[in-house]
Each structure stands twice: as structure tokens, then as C-alpha cells.
Structure 1
Amino acid sequence: MTSTPHTLKAFDEEQNALRALIRRMGEHAQRALDDALRCLLEHDAEGAARIVARDHQLDDMEAQAETHVVQIIARRAPMADDLRDLIAAHKIAGTVERIGDYAKNIAKRVPMLEPVGEAASPSPLPVSLLPEMGRVAGAQVHDALEAFITRDATLAAQVCASDRVVDDYYTAMLRSLLTCMMEAPQNIAPATHLLFVARNIERIGDHATNLAEMVYFAATGQRLGERVRGEDGVRL
């Protein structure tokens, strides 16, 4: 049976509403990451507590997105590209919620650390890498979601290719923190907390790559992981 123009318009409106909801989820998760890193550098324990407290908002939005997807499938019985897009939206919403969880985990570390920002006493710990590492991971999340909103497979592939940047930051942090631990036992506790922070940021970058792979599949019907890699390991 051919859909009427009214039905097609309603379907488009429902999909657009779903995309807008997921975009808000992404903005919420990015803001949580930015705020968590700011609180870490400024030793703002109260601000960190607020980040943890508002995490439920992202949980609520994920539940709304899941409900929205189920309702659209039940009402419209989409097929082919539309169905693939809705399934991707469902998975993306869950991934964005997990990104928010990693930002929350960073905020939870703030009260466990002494001040590490510019106002603190000189520290051998390599904290200067964290803001840039977080900026890159946040940009990956933003670009992956922008690719989803615009169905831009090329942008999604670029996000995947940039994943190793965050990995390189994490490797540098790991080496520096291990060196600090070996040089002075008193560095072990704070360095361990910072290592967990770096690991959470690295996982956010991994999830951004997962988002981009889902977007690529939704837009093209092909899995990015099946494409040929170049000599440097970047997917072509």
C-alpha cells in the first residue's frame, strides 16, 4: 500500500523529533565532559557533585528515545533505509548515555584529588594533557552526532580515522603517570585517579568511534569495519 503525503510528512516529523532528542543527549553528554574536566582542574567538588546529580537527565532522555523508536516502528512499519536508521538511532542513544556515564565517573574523581590546576602548587603529574585530550574526544562525539543528524557518511568515516589521536594522548598519559609513580611513592594515589580519568576520556573516544560506525552503516548499508585499511591502520 502506498503511503499518503500526510503519512509521509508525519513520519518525517517523528524522525526529526527523534534526531533532535538525540542531539540534545549529545549536547548534554559533551557539556558533562567539559564541566567534569573544568571541575577537575579547578578542584570544584561542588560543581562535580552537580554533574553527578544531573546524570539522571541523560538516562531519562535515553528512555524517551527508546520509547520513540518503538512507537515509530509500531505505527509506521518502516522498511529498508528507514528501519536501519531507526535501529541505529536506538543504539546511538544508548551509546550517548554511556558517554555521559564516563563524564560522571570523571566528576566522581574530583573530591579524591588535591587541586591540580594552575592555582595549585607545582606538581609532577602530567595534567596538562587532559583538557586537550577531552577536547578531542568531545569533538569526536559532536562530529559523530552531526554525521547522524545530516546522514553524512564521509564525516562519520573521518571520526573513525581520528580515533587514534585520543589513543595517542592516552598512551602519553599512561607513560608519564607510570614514571611519576616509580619516581615517588606519594604520587601513586593521585596518579592512579588521573589514570582513571584518562581512561574514561579514552573510552569516550572509543564510543564516539562506535557512534560514527553506526552512522556510516545507517547511511550506506555497509559496515565501515569491513573496509580496507591503509598501511598506517586508518580505514580507507
Structure 2
Amino acid sequence: MATIGGHTLKAFDEDLAELRALICQMGGLAEHAIRESMRCLMQRDVEGALRVVENDRKLDVMEAEAERKVVQLIALRAPMADDLREAVAALKIVGLVERIGDYAKNIAKRVPQVDGAGKIEPLALLPEMARIATEMVHDVLDAFVERNAEKAQAVCERDQAVDDFYNSIFRALVTFMMEDPQNISRSAHLLFVAKNIERVGDHATNIAEMVYFTATGERLMDRPRGQDPSATP
């Protein structure tokens, strides 16, 4: 059997499979956190939102464990070329998945701020935006496990839909605030929620780019991004 740095290819593959499984488990927790934080927002479930915040600690612990596994994998197996590229990509992906969990936590923290608020029309757009972003996270981690460049590229292409939702929500909430100054505080919280969902989409796209590069050795060409209406020219 061929060896890498004195260690068998089988051992390296087994270690990498364990790492992939841990990252996918993290991704599953992050996906659930996004869905649950949005449910709590729409239903004004303050207690549920607090549980989302508390459960984020699990992702932090798993991130540390995954980082330890990557360092151990590189140190003990001494991977070269494609294998090293995959190990380094896994390390970066771990951090991005943990950050996605943080965005879900941030959304949950806003639930008490909008509890008791009346009907806010732009709020109706947020669940669909969150659904697309969450599916991007799910699909890109599938692409990661499968080393599927085509799936990764498809995830990148869907980021524009999330950006478009953000732009629409931003404009709608600005209008809502202008119509009545009493709406400013609630609308600002929802803008924060929309921005966090948009960042989930961006992070899923960043993971997709790494998966594509790992699978092909080539980088995706620069993609057009949705213009953030809140950005300064």
C-alpha cells in the first residue's frame, strides 16, 4: 500500500472522513439554528430564541475539536499536494460554518426586540430569504463531502437571489421608517436580521469557492455581487 510521510493512504482517508463528518454535523446544527431563529422571530418566541443563543456553544466546542483534528491530520499524515489543499480548505470551512452559527445566534438575539411589535410588512420577505440561504449551506456541505465542483458552482450562482432579497427588504424597511418614525427601532432590528441572513449566503458561497478549488485546483472567476444599497459608494 502506498504511503504518505510514513502513513498509509487508508489512515489519511479515514481521518479525513472523520473530519468531514464532524464538519457536516456542525453544518446541521448551523442550519437548524437558522431555521429555529427565524421561527422564533416570526412567532415572537422569546424563550425559543434564548435556547438558540445557548445552543451556539455546541458549535464553538465542535469548532475547536475540528481545528484540533485538522492540525493533527497535517502533523501526523504530512499530506502533500491535493491532500494538503483539502486539509487546509477544511480548516477554513470549519471557521465559516461556526460563523454561520453566530449569524443565527445574532438573529435570535433580536427576537425580544421585536416582541409585541405590530404588523411589519417587509417581515414577510425574511423567511424566504432565510430558506434560500439555509439551503445553500446544506447543499454546499453536500458538495464538500462529495468533492463535487458542479454542486459548489450552483451554490455560488444562488447567492444573487439572497442579495436581491436583501436589497428589496432594505428598501422596503427604509420606506417603512420614513412613513412613521415610530417604526425606526423595529425596522432597524429587522435590517440587522436581513443583513445576517445575507452574510449566511456569502459564507455559503465562500465555502463553495473553496470546495470548487479543492476539487479542481482552479478558482472560480469573480462573480457579480448584488449591490448593497446601504454601502457607501
Identical aligned residues as a percent: 59
Q: TM-score, normalised by structure 2?
A: 0.92
| Residue aligned with 2:221, SS | helix
Matches within 5 A, 1:106-121: 106-115=107-116
Matched, 1:72 2:68: no
Question: Which residue pairs with 1:176 in the alignment?
Answer: 172
Q: CA deviation at 1:17?
A: 0.3
Question: Which residue pairs with 2:157 in the alignment?
Answer: 161
Structure 1 unaligned segments of length 5 or more: list them.
Answer: none
Q: How many residues align?
A: 224
Matched, 1:29 2:30: yes
Alignment partners' CA distance in 2, 1:194 and 1:172: 13
Q: CA deviation at 1:124?
A: 3.9
CA contact (8 A) 1:41 1:115 kept: no
CA contact (8 A) 1:36 1:104 kept: yes
Letter in 1 for 2:156: C
Alignment partners' CA distance in 1, 2:66 and 2:198: 26
CA contact (8 A) 1:11 1:76 kept: yes
Alignment partners' CA distance in 2, 1:22 and 1:59: 12
Question: Which residue pairs with 2:11 in the alignment?
Answer: 10
| Residue aligned with 2:201, SS | helix
Question: Which residue pairs with 2:184 in the alignment?
Answer: 188
Matches within 5 A, 1:61-100: 61-100=62-101
CA contact (8 A) 2:19 2:69 kept: yes
Structure 2 unaligned segments of length 5 or more: list them.
Answer: 226-233
Against the structure 1 CA distance between its residues 115 and 140, is the aligned structure 2 distance closer, same or farther, given a 3 Å change threshold? farther
CA contact (8 A) 1:43 1:111 kept: yes
Question: Which residue pairs with 2:132 in the alignment?
Answer: 136
4+ residue stretches of structure 1 with deviation over 4 A?
none
CA contact (8 A) 1:125 1:191 kept: no
| Residue aligned with 1:224, SS | coil
Root mean square deviation, CA, Å: 1.8
